[in-house]
Amino acid sequence: MAVGIFDSGLGGLTVLEAVRKRLPEVPFVYLADSAHAPYGVRTPDDIYALTKAAVARLWEEGCDLVILACNTASAAALRRIQEEGLPEGKRVLGVFVPLIEALTERDWGDNSPPREVAVKHVALFATPATVASRAFQRELAFRAIGVDVEAQACAGVVDAIEEGDMILAEALVRSHVEALKRKMPAPDAAVLGCTHYPLMEDAFQQALGPQVKVFSQAGLVAESLADYLDRHPDMLGAGRESRFLTTGDAAQVSDRATAFLRRKIAFEAA
């Protein structure tokens, strides 16, 4: 009954922590493609190929449902993977839709036509590849009209977080927020479009100001997944144990993950 969680590195652990708390009875297999991280500066074809291979690896672990807990993979690879056809009984979901459903005040899985919403000016902070894909704007247009989105590519933030340099990460956040405000001085809401960024949520909020509502993904994805599994209980795969897998150096990734979550995490070689 395992569910797969995939990320290029450690950012998806923020999603994993939230879904574990929300669904404590479900085992999760987490796969970090640490050998090829970060994805945010790769080409769409590279991201697609790497994501497809990772999804196949999680299917091997008995995970019929795989969550791409990586906005870059969700933006650059998810639609292509879905459109080319999935094996019978397998599903791959991304992390954009739960965020947009919350932003547009929709119930989970509400696919009704787009409509006007309260939020009119949205700041999107994401990796360069996510920004270039315009996937967030595309998914938002399916659900809302009249919303202005200004995107800011946050180069360097993921690398700083992965290296544990939070002072540099905070400085970069402030710099990127200042750059965004030059283009959109008064956003109504801000979207943290990378699963690493919840670790910097306070820094984003402080730089943006208390009047800006900040949307972060982990809790939203957890609630959306719980709702999805209620509606599709057959998507709990055959896997029975939680595992942490990485394509990188398992000992090094384990040390970084332990520091990242402040609890002992032991990765195995994928």
Alpha carbon distance 69, 81 (integer Å):
15
Who contacts 7 (Cβ-Cβ below 8 Å, separation ≥6)? 13, 15, 30, 31, 32, 33, 68, 69, 70, 73, 195
- Number of Cβ atoms within 10 Å of the Cβ of 77: 28
Is there a contact between 11 and 161 (Cβ–Cβ < 8 Å)?
Answer: yes
| CB 126 within 8 Å of CB 155 | no
Between the two ends of the chain, the Cα-to-Cα distance in Å is: 20
What is the CA angle 180-186-190, rounded to 5?
60
Q: Rounded to whole angstroms, how far apart are CA atoms 166 and 269?
A: 27
The two most distant CA atoms of the chain are separated, in Å, by 50
Catalytic-residue membership of 63 = no
How many C-alpha atoms does 24 have within 13 Å on its Cβ side?
1
Angle, to 10 degrees, between the axis of helix 201-208 and the axis of helix 166-183?
40
- List residues bridging with 124 in a β-sheet: 151, 191
Among 50, 70, 73, 253, the active-site one is: 70
Q: Which of 93, 194, 257, 270 is catalytic?
A: 194
Which contiguous run of DSSP H or E holds residue 268?
Answer: strand 268-269
192: its two tokens? 């943290």
Residues serving a catalytic function are 70, 194
